[in-house]
A and B are shown apart, each in its own frame.
Chain A
Amino acid sequence: MVDTRPFLPVSSHAGSDPTGPSENRRKPMKLQLSIFFVLLTVGFFAALLTSNNGSDNGFVKENEHGSLASPSSEKQLRPVSRGPAVGVSEKSNRLFAKDNENQLAYPWNNSMLSWQRTAFHFQPEKNWMNDPNGPLFYKGWYHFFYQYNPHAAVWGDIVWGHAVSKDLIHWLHLPLAMVADQWYDKNGVWTGSATILPDGKVVMLYTGSTTENVQVQNLAYPADHSDPLLINWVKYSGNPVLVPPPGILDKDFRDPTTAWLTSEGKWRITIGSKINKTGIALVYDTKDFINYELLDGVLHAVPGTGMWECVDFFPVSKTEENGLDTSVNGPSVKHVVKASLDDDRHDYYSIGTYHEKNGTWIPDEPKIDVGIGLRYDYGIYYAAKTFYDQNKNRRVLWGWIGESDSEAADMQKGWASVQSIPRTILFDKKTGTHLLQWPVEEIESLRLKSYEFNQVKVQAGSVVPLDVGPATQLDIIAEFEIDKEALEKTTGSNVTFSCSSSGGTIERGALGPFGLLVLADDSLSEQTPVYFYIAKGSDGKLKTFFCNDQSRSSVASDVNKRIYGNLVPVLEGEKLSLRVLVDHSIVESFAQGGRTVITSRVYPTKAIYGAAKLFLFNNATEASVSASLRIWQMNSAFIRPYPNNKESQ
């Protein structure tokens, strides 16, 4: 049954002025207006200096990850408040945010915190995790290693955790693979990658932080190649095999990639670094993984991008729907360079051409070069790494999903971070500029009961509940069609839109926002919209944005409330399509088959357990939409220690 309640009775402008004119003013109009403009200017400067996104931390200026920026680096400024809508109080230059009726200072109880643990995303039993390391498929098992702190729920004392799975979904924890027991990794057993040799043997290259805090590269290999679980690892006695070359600083040299073969039969790797503010990828050739020659020049460099962490380099097929071994090259192949930018904690990729002879790579479109163009994911997603899965002939992507709550909550709940569901990566033939990411098909083995909704009409300004039973573990596939007449009739404008600087879903446009409300309670006091926003330019051209709005995801004040998202290319004839995985405190959303992806962490205080619900919503002013969905309840993956682990040392 369609609920035609208006969504929220708010203004249709982004940012109503804080001192709106009132009929009761006695002062003459002119004086009133000039006072108003003075106040507005003062307010603008005050806002520049203090709050920026009207979030609860009034005096804390937050950038995208809830972290603080000095005024000079602040990118998104909101000179006018978003108006007194639900959950957004009037903040100007108050130093300490207080007493917003929708704020809870410290609501976290064990029930809320234990709900946050995911059911089918990889995470260790407790403590801190970050980068994925050395993923590979070996003797029937998928292996996953990861940066792990065995002592606390914050980063530190890093070693390599290890787990195995038959299907990338059901994981079994194994003992730590490598610990900080050598001078060359005493201060950190950091990120690395695996290479499978032609004879099937595995070598691992990883970064160690030495006793002198120098970043070096080390070689390790399985103690017993006949052990399919690869429990024990040996570090090469002659480590380190690489130290920072001349011109590269001790702390700018880390995260070696999987190696690929050159036409001369040598192995080639790349390692991210920087020179001044230019992010670079160094290239080394080796025959034995012990002795290396540094190539002149770099694989690629992009000025202004800063340190390149977790560089990844891999081929994609322009024509086939399968993955390619890292060594594959040829005319129907493009190469992707990816870097994690230390400066902004985002993962960027670019598609281009690899020139094997001199070990360089050129982007197809310099405007969307590495670090300045496309991101794997517009939410919380970092340190991603792919591997070639020779078992199923696909390239699989792992990504670290950190927390966006306070460390106090992390320490209380005893853990921090999860991994994304592994995703297949394919070249998007239709756009030619994007990669497509999609959760590995094995996740479908978790699907339980399904619900189908056909052509549900959602009028402008309304919310429709979707009755799917418990709504904290879901796989949602949806298609949206927007009223064609409204698309044509709407007048375009020059106003630019961006998810992160918009007012979220309370900012109504003619053709958006509309989509899903996940992890929402009945009264919608907490809600996480995942949605489309169509903007029409003055030239009549349509641009579609895909966003995830956390501003009302929780009434707690110490969680990230940002709005994530980006443009998503929608081609002629394509319906708007969406896939959402909801798994307690993580939401992974894929638009247009994975052309634009957003992962977010959500920490509701009320929309948890049985109180979490799912809704369709349409907060556009002029267009109705109709939605067709298939929604599955998802089982747990029962991630647990490997049974009868007699191998634990």
Chain B
Amino acid sequence: MDSDLSPQDKKDLDKFIKFFALKTVQVIVQARLGEKICTRSSSSPTGSDWFNLAIKDIPEVTHEAKKALAGQLPGIGRSMCVEISLKTSEGDSMELETWCLEMNEKCDKDIKVSYTVYNRLSVLLKSLLAITRVTPAYKLSRKQGHDYVILYRIYFGEVQLNGLGEGFQTVRVGVVGTPVGTVTLSCAYRTNLAFMSNRQFERAAPIMGIIVDHFVDPPCGSHRPANMGHPCNYRAPDDEDGGHYAGVQDSQEVCTTSFSTSPPSQLYASRLSYHPPTLAGAADLCHPAANPNQVLHAVREGGVVMVPAYPHGTDTHLTAEQAPNTPGSSGDDDGLLHSDEGRSVSPYDPVESLNAFTRKVGAFVNKPATQLTAASLDLPFAAFAPRGLDPEENDPMVQPPDSPPCPSPLQASLHSQGSEGSGQQDDFVMVDFRPAFSKDDLLPMDLGTFYREFQNPPQLASLSLHISAQSMADDLDSLPEKLAVYEKNIDEFDAFVDMLQ
């Protein structure tokens, strides 16, 4: 118990646990920002990198974590939890995972605090880095954008896992024994990503701490109105005067980077003195961002995003429609924290875009737009719900529509089967070509025409039978001559091969 622990060890242990908790929150939140993280190794210790790992401190996240801890430490019965949830542009939210930092009563009295505990906490943080990329929420967070965003909430006290739905899975990141208890880090994640009704969320407590201006000037109060959109502009700590959050300086407190190889009685030989926060010297966040002020940019440009189904759960597909806007123009949606407004800036008709993008059954199968009614789109998580079957009268597989006239060199082709011929409706089912990403309008679809024409290209002249037979005979005749030439130049070939090796 505490009586066995020297005051210095107790003080160190408390500090280690406190900063471990803060770093844990940073790792989890940064892993859900939607961007790849990159920090630099440094051979010289800076004195500000706790656990010898380059983990940048986002000041607001540290502030939220400290607020949740309120001066306490994770202890027995007092867990620190980070809840990650998804919120759609329609305002519905769904809890995805809960990370728990807990302490149990199992003590390891013989363990050395300053060395073993510290190093094991470092290993545990590395494990956390690895595991945060493996849970299902990671892929969702990498694809957040206009349709949904990923939010976080930190709380202290009892672990709440009710919001994760049925069948949630748990993964244990690791444990570290200390003289006052065993630190355990684990994650419970949702596996059932099916449709959830609106009513469920009206009763639940609103998620707090989702400060829209996460990456801009620090707020005067702790909360801002949810509908206040701001460009997501994370300023590197150098640009701030550093005075808004006392926590910033606090986090740069002395961290033990000195270890001893001497006998156990000599725990410390030296300590680094306190350095004023040289935050530029701290872990550089080397994002491949065009604009250094938009380091935590989350919107992905263009394209369609399909999120695959996850194990143990649904066979529905999550879709996140991405507007074609460039990040610059839709800056208000960026980053981890998001406005509550449904800022859908897509120029496309949502029915049509869902029609074009949300089916995995063949890019060229035509399903009528009427299948996805406006009513169904009003339902939250409509895209997540399994789609109904086509009514038969609308199914082009049963009643093929007329094919457009298509003059082509197909007629002369050896392989011409007239596959688009309307006279072959007995043998073939007409599939109206809708190439992916093409517009559904009245103009002739050049892309479709292109596909049709070049699906059955004319036979290459050199491959036609009578010509190939002739050339084969010629080849055989000329073979001895060619062999003689090659044998003469054999040295040249050998030299060439040697050069390649």
A binds B: no
